[in-house]
Amino acid sequence: MSNKVIPFRLIEQKEDTNGLVIVLPGAGYTTQAPLLYYTTGAFYNKGFDVLHINYSFSGQELTSLNERDFAKDVLFAINSAINDKKKQLLYCGKIYWNKSFELSDRSSNV
């Protein structure tokens, strides 16, 4: 693992919710850019908690980026954000919303 600490921001509903949207920005794009900013608002207004994974890389880091290590770092950030056992049990549905790369068939790739 590259051990890069990836910052995150968990935007929680005032009431408990069992839905979580995980927003992954893609290279050269941030969660504050229009596409993901408005997506965040739409899901939050529908009652989801929203987790922003805010990774950024220098040019040198991008050239040496190992896909497996990157995935481990992102998963570590996600788990850190929802490390409270109560929260982990609460989220029975997760949506991965990403820009510019494939995650799985459960992803929404824009």
- The first and second tokens of residue 3, run together, are 């051990």
User: Per-residue pLDDT for 107 more than 60?
Assistant: no
| Lowest mean pLDDT segment, chosen from 13-17, 31-35, 65-69 | 65-69
Q: Residue 41, CB half-sphere, CA atoms under 13 Å: how many?
A: 6
What does the pLDDT average to over 13-23? 89
Tell me the residue type at 105: D
In contact, 21 and 92? CB cutoff 8 Å: no
Q: How far is CA 97 from CA 25, 81, 108, in A?
A: 8, 16, 5
> How would residue 49 be classed by pLDDT, with cut points 50, 70 and 90?
very high
- CA dihedral (83, 84, 86, 91) in degrees, to 10, reads -40
CA distance 18 to 1: 30
Tell me the residue type at 82: I
* Sequential DSSP letters for 45-68: HTT-EEEEE-----HHHHHT--HH
> How would residue 86 be classed by pLDDT, with cut points 50, 70 and 90?
low
What does the pLDDT average to over 83-103? 66
User: Per-residue pLDDT for 110 more than 60?
Assistant: no
